[in-house]
Amino acid sequence: MRSIRIIGITAVLAVALTACSSSTKGLKSTSTGARTNAPTTAPTTAVATGGLSGTWSGQYSGAYKGTFILTWQQSGSDLSGTINLSTDGTPSVNGTVSGSSIRFGTVGSSAITYTGTVSGNSMSGSYQTPGGGGSWSASKTS
């Protein structure tokens, strides 16, 4: 049996070889790698559903070195909270998350910007200050 299935604007020709039984044996993937029985919606991720809310413990190195405790709330793709830096108090932070990419920064006179990626209960990336930059990483603690 031959059938045509439209995925978005791309037409994909899928060839299904079926036996006389109701078995799915013989189904093949298309040349683009799409499967004829693939779900139509992507699964919801913890990042997209507020999974970053809570407390994160981390460290940074480079131009400056130390530890931090990041406490924030996530509302959709927006982040807000505080970061308790071992060397510089507890400034407010605001940021955004899109997919696995995260960007946030301090609010106030000492501008520090952080960029990186999130995967499950860990995240890492780089930071930049007027005095230099470096790397950072953190793990969710609660």
47 domain-assigned: no
pLDDT score of 140 more than 80: yes
Is the pLDDT score of 80 beyond 90? yes
- Output the six-digit token pair for 110: 């000492």
| Distance, first Cα to last Cα, the chain | 53
Residue 48: pLDDT over 50: yes
Phi, psi of 58 (to 5 degrees): -150, -175
With b for 16 or more beta-carbon neighbours within 10 A and e for fewer, the 91-105 pattern comes to bebebebeeeebebb
Domain identity same for 37 and 58: no
Is the whole-model pTM more than 0.75?
A: no
34 with 66, same domain: the answer is: no
User: Residue 23's domain spans which residues?
Assistant: 1-41
* Same domain for 63 and 22: no
